[in-house]
Amino acid sequence: MSGLWGPAMFFGALLLIFSGYPVAFALGGTALLFACIGAVAGHFDLVLLYALPERTFGTMSNYTLLAVPFFIFMGTVLEKSRLAEQLLETIGALFGRFRGGLALGVIFVGALLAAATGVVGASVTAMGLISLPVMLRNGYKADFSLGVISASGTLGQIIPPSIVLIVLGDQMGVSVGDLFGAALLPGLVLTGSYALYVVGLSFVRKEVAPALPEEARSHGLDLLRRVVVSLLPPLFLIVVVLGSIFAGVATPTEAGALGAVGAMILAALNRQLSMKTLQAAMEETSRLTIMVIFLLIGSTAFALVFRGLDGDIWIADALTGVPGGALGFLLVVNTVVFILGFFIDFFEIAFIIVPLIVVPAQILGIDLTVLGIVLAMNLQTSFLTPPFGFSLFYLRGVTPERIPTTAIYRGVIPFIAIQLVVLGAFIYFAHPSTPAMPSLF
Amino acid sequence: MPFLRRLSTLVDALNDRIGAAIRWLALIMVLVGAFNAVARYLTRYTGVALSSNAYLDLQWYFFSLIFLLGAAYGLRHDVHVRVDVLYERLSKRARAWIDLAGTVLFLLPFSLLMLWVSWPAVRNSWSVREVSPDPGGLPRYPIKAVILVGFVLLVLQALSQVVKQIDILRAGAPGDDAVTDGGDHGHGGHL
């Protein structure tokens, strides 16, 4: 009988958060509800709840999580000060002369912006507003353009300094610097695969992504000036921020704070550091901090009661008992996370699901850093998958009415295929009996 | 109801002011964080102790103030993330029912629980005037007390939301958008 508490609470919580009530409080309320029922049935000791203030205090003084608001601040300043827009326009001008060039520009800017913002919404919205009209005007096929934009917008989930990786590092007890280092290779592989696909397709089917006509290009000194002004500064900032982490000079938290100040300096040099920009960055940073940390507080209450009811043992038994050992575990976990990723946000998955799979993964001998990368890539793919992918949703919001939503769905299919192939390759690397995953650092 | 509506407006105004103030904490937190990073680096190479545990404490004190004091503001402005696959397809009335039920069954009991279990810990911290265990660190008891302040604000905002949701439900027919986000009641003619 006692074995039923874990599943009852887990599925009960899942049901309640689907009501649409804010997840943080639905989880906290579920925790209290099951604590009371468990206590009445003699399975739960209410004294355990007195651990909650200490846990809350642990979240307050959590040095790793402090990096999250810093990187959000940095990304919002870069976005609101129009640095991102200028970057897109410049790269478009640089590559536009080639077939498929605008699409390549979107991919590279997606990867770069990703490194700067790490928030799906920001880069997809920016690229949808700026690049999509240019692509359509120049005869790019709508579904192809939409697919490139929504896929490139998700690269921020995997390319460091991604907020996804910071939170995963915290929840899995893995060094964020290690995760950043390990994520660089898959991030570049994905970016490269997208680019290869675009080049290949525009070579085979000339009408999909034509080159810009002569009069739409910019030339010589003017182009050079634009590259120097808009491309080099943000690139420099990203290299310094990531470089200082990889070189071990700065912790991710320190690099985030310096990156935020660096972004303000760049915006000021560009004469774009207005009160409006600052206010927007401060507002966005506080909102996301409130949202993420309160979700963590609610999840902590949930986890405390769940463990008190031996729910963690139920999960560990179920996952270590999966046929096929480590590979079976990886397939089950990835399938569950992929499906959940359709409906619920990354942060819920990181705070509710991830802590539960750490112990079974260790028992099965799976490297946690590699597991973290695989999970991040998996979530990134689910952001891209119809009908609920977040990236598609944001892009729909800035796409002209006359273009049907199905065009977006058709456009992302090739990119989902690329994602699944690369994800499969890295799941293979996560398997303990295969040689260690190659790393760039 | 008019009296409760007025209270609700007051609570909303209070949390809006707090929300406007904590934004600035985000900027200050970034500046303190950058100072800490530079100071640690310089200290290592010059030997002059620029960095101190007080500043290191300060950056996460600001971080804590943002989410503890901002949680109520976040509730008022729907910042807390929802799984809205179903919710966004529902009518205004149905959403008000879900919000009302969630506030009464989840949010209020959870906030009261947090106040109940945190009270002894905070009282202990105050009675010994707890200070950071690190040399030169800041006093711990005030920041711990902010946990209580944050959840009191959250309870107040939750009650204000209840008043507004009941108003939506009493306003009658589905699709009646006389009451918008519930933010601007008090200006109605009922007072």
With a CB cutoff of 8 Å and minimum separation 6, the contacts of A89 are: A130, A226, A230
**Mean pLDDT in chain A?**
87
Helices assigned H by DSSP within B77-184? 92-102, 108-127, 141-170
d(CA A116, nearest CA chain B) in Å: 16
Which is nearest to A358 in space by CA: A169, A179, A159, A165?
A169
Q: B188 pLDDT exceeds 80?
A: no
Q: What span, in angstroms and rounded, lies between the C-alpha atoms of B181 and B186? A: 13
| The pLDDT of residue B172 | 67
Q: Chain B: residue nearest A50 by CA? A: B117
Chain A residues close to B30, C-beta within 8 Å: 69-70, 73, 257, 260-261, 285
| The pLDDT of residue B179 | 42
Kindly state whether B63 is in contact with chain A, defined as any CB-CB distance less than 8 angstroms. Answer: yes
Kindly state whether B86 is in contact with chain A, defined as any CB-CB distance less than 8 angstroms. Answer: yes
Handedness of CA A306, B65, A291, A367 (dihedral sign): negative
| The pLDDT of residue A105 | 87
Chain A residues close to B15, C-beta within 8 Å: none
- Neighbour-count burial of B28, counting CB atoms closer than 10 A to its CB (0-12 exposed, 13-18 middle, 19+ buried): middle
Which is nearest to A35 in space by CA: B113, B191, B176, B77?
B113
Among A286, A340, A343, pick the best mutation site for testing chain B contact (most B Cβ within 10 A): A286
The DSSP symbol for B173 reads S
Tokens of A219: 């030339």
Chain A residues close to B121, C-beta within 8 Å: 50, 53-54
Chain A residues close to B82, C-beta within 8 Å: 20-23
Q: B183 pLDDT exceeds 50?
A: no
Give the lowest-confidence range in A149-153, A188-192, A244-248, A320-324.
Answer: A320-324
Question: How many other β-carbons are positioned within 10 Å of the β-carbon of residue A322?
Answer: 17
Q: First CA to last CA across chain A, in angstroms?
A: 50
d(CA A52, nearest CA chain B) in Å: 7
> Stretch B84-111: mean pLDDT, rounded?
93
3-state secondary structure chain A: CHHHHHHHHHHHHHHHHCCCCCHHHHHHHHHHHHHHHHHHCCCCCHHHHHHHHHHHHHHHCCCCCCHHHHHHHHHHHHHHCCHHHHHHHHHHHHHCCCCCHHHHHHHHHHHHHHHHHCCHHHHHHHHHHHHHHHHHHCCCCHHHHHHHHHHHHHHHHCCCCCHHHHHHHHHHCCCHHHHHHHHHHHHHHHHHHHHHHHHHHHHHCCCCCCCCCHHHCCCHHHHHHHHHHHHHHHHHHHHHHHHHHHCCCCCHHHHHHHHHHHHHHHHHHCCCCCHHHHHHHHHHHHHHHHHHHHHHHHHHHHHHHHHHCCHHHHHHHHHHCCCCHHHHHHHHHHHHHHHHHHHCCHHHHHHHHHHHHHHHHHHCCCCHHHHHHHHHHHHHHHCCCCCCCHHHHHHHHCCCCCCCHHHHHHHHHHHHHHHHHHHHHHHHHHCCCCCCCCCCC
CA angle (B119 as vertex; B114, B123 as ends), nearest 5: 155
Kindly state whether B150 is in contact with chain A, defined as any CB-CB distance less than 8 angstroms. Answer: no
CB A286 within 8 A of CB B25: yes
| The pLDDT of residue B182 | 40
| The pLDDT of residue A75 | 84
| The pLDDT of residue A232 | 84
The pTM of the full predicted model, rounded to 2 decimals, is: 0.87
Backbone φ and ψ for B35, nearest 5 degrees, come out as -60, -45
Kindly state whether A11 is in contact with chain B, defined as any CB-CB distance less than 8 angstroms. Answer: no
A121 vs B78, higher pLDDT: B78
B108 vs A324, higher pLDDT: B108
| The pLDDT of residue B191 | 29
| Cβ-defined contact of B34 to A31 (cutoff 8 Å) | no
Measured CA distances, B105 to A50, B97, B156 (Å): 21, 12, 15
Over the stretch A336-354, which tens digit does the pLDDT of each residue have? 888 888 777 788 888 989 9
| Cβ-defined contact of A24 to B121 (cutoff 8 Å) | no
Q: A441 pLDDT exceeds 60?
A: no
Q: What span, in angstroms and rounded, lies between the C-alpha atoms of B83 and B89? A: 12
Handedness of CA A306, B98, B69, A63 (dihedral sign): positive
With a CB cutoff of 8 Å and minimum separation 6, the contacts of B186 are: B5, B6, B8, B9
Could you say which of A28, A57, A66 has the minimum Cβ distance to residue B63?
A66
d(CA B157, nearest CA chain A) in Å: 13
Q: What span, in angstroms and rounded, lies between the C-alpha atoms of A300 and A294? A: 10
CB B177 within 8 A of CB B184: no
| The pLDDT of residue A218 | 66
Q: B142 pLDDT exceeds 90?
A: yes
| The pLDDT of residue A153 | 86
Chain B residues close to A237, C-beta within 8 Å: none
| The pLDDT of residue B55 | 92
Backbone φ and ψ for B139, nearest 5 degrees, come out as -60, 140
CA angle (B101 as vertex; A54, B181 as ends), nearest 5: 100
Which is nearest to A302 in space by CA: A32, A111, A4, A77?
A32
Amino acid at A420: L
Kindly state whether B64 is in contact with chain A, defined as any CB-CB distance less than 8 angstroms. Answer: yes
| The pLDDT of residue A295 | 92
Q: Chain A: residue nearest B104 by CA? A: A29
With a CB cutoff of 8 Å and minimum separation 6, the contacts of B148 are: B115, B118, B119, B122
In the stretch 31-50 of chain A, residues with CB closer than 8 A to chain B read 31-32, 49-50
| Cβ-defined contact of A49 to B98 (cutoff 8 Å) | no
- Neighbour-count burial of A219, counting CB atoms closer than 10 A to its CB (0-12 exposed, 13-18 middle, 19+ buried): exposed
Q: A196 pLDDT exceeds 90?
A: yes
- Neighbour-count burial of B165, counting CB atoms closer than 10 A to its CB (0-12 exposed, 13-18 middle, 19+ buried): buried
Over the stretch A9-61, which tens digit does the pLDDT of each residue have? 999 998 898 899 999 999 999 999 999 999 999 889 999 999 999 999 999 99
| The pLDDT of residue B187 | 30
Over the stretch A80-119, which tens digit does the pLDDT of each residue have? 877 777 877 788 788 888 888 889 988 988 887 766 655 5
> Stretch A413-439: mean pLDDT, rounded?
80
A308 vs B173, higher pLDDT: A308
Question: What value of ipTM does the predicted structure carry?
Answer: 0.88
| The pLDDT of residue B190 | 30
Tokens of B89: 């397809």
Tokens of A135: 């692509």
d(CA A293, nearest CA chain B) in Å: 7
| Cβ-defined contact of A388 to B85 (cutoff 8 Å) | yes
Tokens of A121: 């919404």
pLDDT category at A147 given cuts 50, 70, 90 is: very high
Q: B71 pLDDT exceeds 80?
A: yes
CB A292 within 8 A of CB A68: yes
A217 vs A44, higher pLDDT: A44
Most confidently modeled range among A3-7, A76-80, B124-128? B124-128
Amino acid at A122: A
> Stretch A405-433: mean pLDDT, rounded?
88
> Stretch A313-322: mean pLDDT, rounded?
86
Give the 3-state secondary structure of residue B139.
strand
A116 vs B151, higher pLDDT: B151
A435 vs A249, higher pLDDT: A249
pLDDT category at A418 given cuts 50, 70, 90 is: very high
| The pLDDT of residue B108 | 97
B89 vs B35, higher pLDDT: B35
